[in-house]
Amino acid sequence: MSGFFVNAALISLLTLIAFLAIRLHRLFAVVMLSGAFSLVAATLFVVLDAVDVAFTEAAVGAGISTILALATLSLVPANEKPHDFAFVPAFLAFATAAMLAVAVADLPAFGDVNAPIHNHVAPDYLKGSAEDIAIPNVVTSVLASYRGFDTLGETVVVFTAAIAVLLVLGGWTRRKEDGEDDNA
Amino acid sequence: METVFAITLIALGIAATLAIIRATIGPTSFDRVLAVNTIGSIAVLLIAVYGFFDGRPEFLDIALLYALINFIGTIAILKFFRFGTLGDHGLHEEGDEQ
């Protein structure tokens, strides 16, 4: 029961940060709040026992994303332009949220041992990991061997995204400058 | 002992809320940087205290990771203030100093 209160408090904090970030028009403050959002979200993931997700959220969401957003901030004006209330995006967002809320009702209960995710291939992975892969860490054997192609695809996606971001943030101009002073 | 941890968690929650308010209204950018750094520190403490509150303090190393990321993030933000950019000019000036 105490876990419920901790979760509720963390989700309330997340909602508060999200609303404030939407309301603010000073972009630097929005970047700061998004970093805070990621840290609180990562804390929520730790509380929910999704430790690997929390690691990723803290490293990517709070670390890299904040730094990338700051790098972008140096290329754009400091304040958001005032604009009218955007009805179509707001409607789409609310419709998606409503559909997700309806879908949540059909999910298995949190930690349910009879949930499909625990009865499909997970038992085979847990039993066969030591013999098939011969390394003690089951998570590593699932990521690097059972779902090796999946992981490769994810790595390619992340790599492509990194290249695209570097190009957008001025990779072209830097290459010209590097040609002059050999600063690679 | 669990009561102590529960009270600590509540206090940390209140502190996080206050830090979020400061990050929102903070008149200068430095107030906001400090507020976000504080929120990071509170997240570190929250993970540690919740681990002991739950009876499973195995995730303390994650708290350490958060502390490191918090530090690096603050350095990046302050570098943004110092050089006005994180990209070309910042790298360029470092290269010139060497």
Domain spans in chain B, listed from the N-terminal domain onward? 2-97
* Contact flag A51-B72 (C-beta cutoff 8 Å): no
Q: Is the pLDDT of residue A61 over 70?
A: yes
The residues near A18 (Cβ < 8 Å, ≥ 6 apart) are: A37
pTM exceeds 0.80 = no
Query: Which one, of A75, A158, A163, A30, lies nearest residue B86 by Cα?
Result: A75
- CA distances, B55 to each of A148, B1, B2, B5, B48 (Å): 35, 11, 9, 11, 11
Spell out which residues of chain B touch residue A173, defining contact as CB-CB under 8 Å. Answer: 88
Asked if A165 and A68 count as a contact pair (C-beta separation under 8 A), the reply is yes
Cα(B74)–Cα(A13) distance, rounded to whole angstroms?
A: 21
- Residue tagged 């990521």 (tokens): A143
The average pLDDT across A116-134 equals: 81
Closest-approach residue (CA) in chain A for B89: A174
Q: CB A119: neighbour CB atoms within 10 A?
A: 10
* Contact flag B73-A32 (C-beta cutoff 8 Å): no
Band (A98; pLDDT cuts 50, 70, 90):
very high
A29-43, A161-175, B41-55: segment of lowest average pLDDT? A161-175
- Selected for mutation to probe chain A from B28, B39, B79 (highest A CB count within 10 Å) is B39
- CA distances, A49 to each of A43, B58, B59 (Å): 10, 11, 10
| Pairs across A and B, CB distance < 8 A | 112
Whether this model's ipTM surpasses 0.90 comes out as no
Q: For chain B, what's the residue count?
A: 98
Exposure string for A60-97, b = 16+ CB within 10 A, e = fewer: bbbbbbbbbbbbbbbeeeeeeeeeeeeeeeeeeeeeee
Closest-approach residue (CA) in chain B for A75: B85
Of the CA atoms within 13 Å of residue A87, those in its CB half-sphere come to 0
Higher pLDDT, A152 or A126: A152
Spell out which residues of chain A touch residue B17, defining contact as CB-CB under 8 Å. Answer: 13, 16
User: Above pLDDT 70, what percent of chain A?
Assistant: 91
- Selected for mutation to probe chain A from B30, B31, B36 (highest A CB count within 10 Å) is B36
- Selected for mutation to probe chain B from A2, A19, A43 (highest B CB count within 10 Å) is A43
- CA distances, B50 to each of A13, A109, B3, B64 (Å): 16, 22, 12, 14
The average pLDDT across A144-159 equals: 91
The average pLDDT across A162-170 equals: 81
* Contact flag B91-A174 (C-beta cutoff 8 Å): yes
Two tokens, residue A46 = 């730790």
Segment B53-81, tens digit of pLDDT: 888 877 788 888 888 888 888 888 888 77
Cα(B91)–Cα(B20) distance, rounded to whole angstroms?
A: 32
pLDDT at B97: 40
